[in-house]
Chain A
Amino acid sequence: MDPIDPSRAVAALARDKAHVDLKTVDLCFLAALHLRAGKTGLASFDEDALFDLFEQACDVVEPGADNPRTRATHAVRRLREQRFLARVDGAGLVRAGEYALTRLAAAVVEFFLAEETLTRESLTLLTGTLRAQLAQVLAAARKADGADAWRLDVVGPLDVTVRDLVSGIERRQRGLDAQQEEVRAEITALLGADWFAAIERCQALLESTTATLNELNGVLLRDSHHFVALLQEIAALAGAAEEASAEDAAHRVVEHVDRIAAWGAARQRAWSEYYQSVHRFLRDVVRLDADRALSRRLRDQIAAWPSKPFHLLAARAPSIVLLRAPEARAERPAVARPRSDREAPPEATAATDAAADLEAAVRRALADGASTLAEATRRVLAEVPAPARYAAAGEVAALAVRLAAPTSACDRPWVDVAPRLEIEDWTDLGPESRE
């Protein structure tokens, strides 16, 4: 049998959107079916029996619920969809159906109903059966003279009977784990409720669980050693006969047995720690504070602490100072710029006065006979760079007003004076008439 790849198995479950949704009434209904089947030996139930049992379960869970028949119909549909119930008659619409619990339903109900906890009796019985079974398999392995004999008498029993027995022990171990959790919760509850008065009962619980664990661990240690020896002998015989499947089956069971033995040791260690901490708690806290006043007083102390603080003192030795080994330090010069005369000598440059230049140009244009503003402006702008022409045109107009007292018609014409520049023209510019 190939081992299941966990990641593929999980991916397959996710892909199929597998889920289970059981309400209490559903679980009670399934349990009622399971118990009835066990009691009467019925393999399947007709619809009437199914509905009767559902109504009984419904009466317990929700007494006085409306429409139990309708609810039964929905419950049966729900359980069939989730593969808890299967219709087994195959008659379709022809007649009412027959239903049986599936393996899934049986497992779920058994989990809730069974009290499978490992006890010395159950463990001794299981290990005894397992030992006998392994002895049989070993005898069969010694006699096996062909592939069929190995498959039927060795691989089959190892894969089914032996593994079921080992799984039975493991299942009961999980039951014991749950029981230990309950014991811990019970001890907590007992102390919470009765405090000092609960000491005796807590100790009794601790002692009984400890004794059980010790016994079980002893049996497990002794028997698992024996099982492993038998299984290794079977594996060695299979190896000699070149029966790989039988050898693998034996190794798988060995791993299973090792896991069981490891469980015993781990649980005993964990329980031992818990046992000690509870005893310490009972001795140092509960016995010394019989009326449970310490917690109350400590609560008061914490509440009052911000207004009346105090601080515990603790030792704090200084760390040892480690002196560094002496080292010759090179004198590093300070960071500086090289000295130089950064003062540049003054240069002679021609003084420029744009306003005076412009005025001189206007005067020149007027003196040369420019009689209109457009003409004077055109002459002046010819000497001005293109970006400054727009501003210069305004300056020229202002100077023309000041120097030549122009006249203007009511409807002044627009005249080009430079590329992409027009002005409203004035006439009768006399040479410097106003000054």
Chain B
Amino acid sequence: MNDAPFSGLEAVVADDRFPEVDLQLRRGRHIGREDGLAYEFVADAQPFLEELYRRYGCELVRQSDGYFYLLPSNDRLGRRRLTVGEMLVGQTAALLYLDPATLQHHGVVARDAILQRLAALIGADALVRAFHPRKRRVDERVAAEAVRGQTAEALRRLADLGFVDSVDDAHVRLRPALLRFAEPVRGVQDRLAALEKLVARGEAAFGDEPADEEPRAEDEPAS
């Protein structure tokens, strides 16, 4: 008797869960244990899916924290770098994920708490400058409103990517995939060296965000 859930790629593709999972992976979503059946499917079909996506120039990555994602090594399927807002909010959410106090509430945190923590970490002025790098003078009220808006937008995109789950208008549930933001500092080695390794592996990219990289048009692959 064969214990393997799938006999081959044909059986994987014929599975009812394949279309949705395939679309999610191609759209950059991180599929974790919280996703239940989708996660089970990817875990069961991993060898076949790895082979499939390799032909598109993508690597199906499985992290020990319990999530899968697709990492493109070229532009065949399209790829994008996360925006400034997504990076800042994602890293802060990862920090909150590591806090035992978050555990008490099943990983649910207030959206305001993320922004509050971020402002405390890098300072309100630096936060405004990070979100508005080209503006020299910004009205305080307008800047605060814009930062709040961009944080909300970043959380929405992080939810699309499977880093957080939107619980309601005021709360999000943090997911283990957030630990990807902490990858450069997970090892004992120097942060810069670790980051260079991630860049070499195609997990990350250095530098400021190019103006044309804002993910507005969903169908434009990054250059």
Contact = CB atoms under 8 A, between A and B. Distances in A.
B94 interface: yes
A271 B205 CA distance: 41
B79 A295 contact: no
Contacts of A300: 185, 191
A316 B122 contact: no
Contacts of A188: 100-101, 103-104
B79 A315 contact: yes
Contact of A310 (B72, B77, B184, B218): B184
Interface in B178-199: 179-182, 184-186, 191, 195, 198-199
B99 interface: yes
Tell which of A274, A288, A306 has the most Cβ of chain B within 10 Å.
A306
B43 interface: no
A313 interface: yes
Nearest to B84: A309
Nearest to B33: A280
B70 interface: yes
Interface in A218-274: 273-274
B72 A184 contact: no
B25 A311 contact: no
B162 to A, nearest CB: 10
A302 B78 contact: no
A313 B122 contact: no
Interface string B181-223: 1101110000100010011001111111100000100111110
Contacts, number: 159
Contacts of B209: 309, 311
Contacts of A278: 103
Nearest to A320: B219
A318 B220 contact: yes
A273 B161 CA distance: 23
Interface string B72-86: 100001111111100
B184 to A, nearest CB: 6
Contacts of B207: 309-311
Nearest to B70: A315
Given A315-B70, A316-B78, A192 B100 contact: yes
Contacts of B101: 188, 192
Contact of A309 (B72, B87, B191): B87
Contacts of B58: 315
B54 interface: no
A284 B26 contact: no
Contacts of A285: 98
- Which bucket holds chain B's interface residue count? 35 or more
Interface in A268-312: 273-274, 277-278, 280-281, 284-285, 288-289, 294-295, 297-303, 305-306, 309-312
Contact of B94 (A191, A277, A298): A298
Contact of B81 (A289, A299, A313): A313
A185 interface: yes
Given A277-B106, A280-B66, A280-B176, A314 B28 contact: yes
A317 interface: yes
Nearest to B100: A191
Contacts of A274: 106
Contacts of A289: 98
A109 interface: no
A319 interface: yes
A295 B219 contact: no
Contacts of A295: 95, 98-99
Contacts of B26: 315-317
